[in-house]
């Protein structure tokens, strides 16, 4: 299978333009509980694990912590027991296209950025960072819906991507009476970060995310507890599958959401999910003006 890279809008953009320069880390002898508190405090999905000299040796993500919860590990165990390593790196002068391909091929959500000496970690690059940059690019593009309206151009002349073009057309839902263990199993099998919870009439009443599961783990809740015990989201944040992708991106970026569930016509009819990862892997903005930014497989 040959990888064909088309003329890419991202080809001239470097990691430096999208990376965030704050890197969170803990020593490998730190506890799982300390990692939970750290991730929640800083609203990030992973942190770097270092040895006592400060050398990066692994990564602990929300996924790793939820797996530890499922396995019944005590929260005072060290991060060394659950971390995944070694971390994957890139340099700030690497093209964003190359970094995205490295993330895709290794099925990871983030890379850590090192300086030219290969010794110091100076930042991190994750899918939300890429999406935020794409959003800025689209807003500044002369083909954006906003700019075309300002110029009194016919916006219907531009073929725009809609949520249905990018979303994952699959939904995994659970009832309020299902156990947290069942929910964790479903998340793991489908590589989802959140699932919809339905009432007895199969109507969506909320969402359980990995953040909710981490909180339950930290508070000593059993994995045999019912979903209703930790259901904190009062409603399901969703968008219509016919909505323009740029509008969905704007909502996620400014509301600090990692995903939106997707409905068809009615919010009660959930048909898929749109995540920041989906948008970043799509490698394009809001319309066909930069369709060449995507990578295709032959």
Contacts within 8 Å (CB) and 24+ apart, 257-262: 258/45, 258/128, 258/193, 258/194, 259/193, 259/194, 260/163, 261/171, 261/196, 261/204, 261/207, 261/236, 261/237, 262/163, 262/164, 262/167, 262/238
Pairing of strands 56-61, 46-50: antiparallel
Q: What pLDDT, on a 0 to 100 scale, did the predictor assign at position 15?
A: 94
Q: In the block, which residue shows the tokens 């947290």? A: 180
* Rounded Cα gap, residues 98 and 46, in angstroms: 22
Q: In the block, which residue shows the tokens 């809740």? A: 221
Is the pLDDT assigned to residue 298 strictly greater than 60? Answer: no
Q: What pTM does this model have?
A: 0.82
Report the topology of domain 3-125.
Answer: CBS-domain (3.10.580)
Give the pLDDT confidence of 206-241 residue by residue, as tens digits.
899 999 999 999 999 999 999 999 986 667 889 999
Domain ranges of the chain: 3-125
Q: What pLDDT, on a 0 to 100 scale, did the predictor assign at position 118?
A: 73
Q: Find the distance separating the first CA and the last CA of the chain, reported in whole Å.
A: 6
Residues of the chain with pLDDT > 90, as a percent, come to 51
Give the pLDDT confidence of 52-78 residue by residue, as tens digits.
999 999 999 999 999 999 999 999 999
Is the pLDDT assigned to residue 254 strictly greater than 60? Answer: yes
Contact 82, 67 (CB under 8 A): yes
């Amino acid at each position: 299978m040959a990888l064909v890279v088309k003329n890419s809008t991202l080809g001239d953009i470097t990691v430096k333009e999208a990376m965030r320069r704050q890197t969170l880390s803990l020593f490998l002898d730190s506890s799982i509980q300390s990692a939970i508190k750290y991730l929640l405090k800083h609203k990030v999905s992973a942190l770097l694990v270092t040895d006592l000299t400060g050398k990066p040796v692994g990564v602990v993500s929300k996924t790793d912590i939820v797996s530890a919860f499922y396995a019944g590990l005590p929260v005072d165990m060290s991060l060394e027991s659950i971390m995944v390593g070694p971390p994957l790196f890139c340099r700030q002068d690497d093209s964003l296209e190359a970094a995205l391909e490295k993330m895709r091929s290794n099925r990871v959500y983030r890379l850590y950025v090192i300086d030219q000496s290969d010794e110091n970690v100076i930042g991190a690059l994750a899918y939300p960072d890429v999406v935020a940059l794409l959003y800025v690019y689209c807003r500044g593009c002369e083909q954006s819906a906003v700019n075309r309206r300002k110029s009194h151009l016919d916006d219907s002349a531009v073929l725009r991507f809609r949520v249905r073009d990018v979303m994952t057309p699959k939904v995994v839902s659970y009832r309020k009476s299902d156990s947290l263990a069942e929910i964790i199993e479903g998340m793991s099998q489908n590589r989802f970060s959140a699932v919809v919870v339905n009432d007895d009439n199969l109507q969506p009443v909320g969402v359980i995310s990995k953040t909710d599961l981490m909180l339950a783990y930290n508070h000593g809740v059993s994995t045999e507890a019912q979903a209703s015990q930790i259901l904190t989201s009062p409603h399901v944040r969703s968008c219509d599958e016919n909505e323009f992708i740029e509008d969905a991106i704007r909502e996620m970026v400014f509301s600090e959401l990692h995903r939106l569930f997707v409905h068809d016509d009615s919010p009660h009819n959930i048909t898929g999910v749109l995540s920041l990862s989906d948008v970043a892997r799509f490698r394009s903005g809001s319309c066909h003006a930069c369709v060449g930014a995507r990578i295709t497989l032959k």
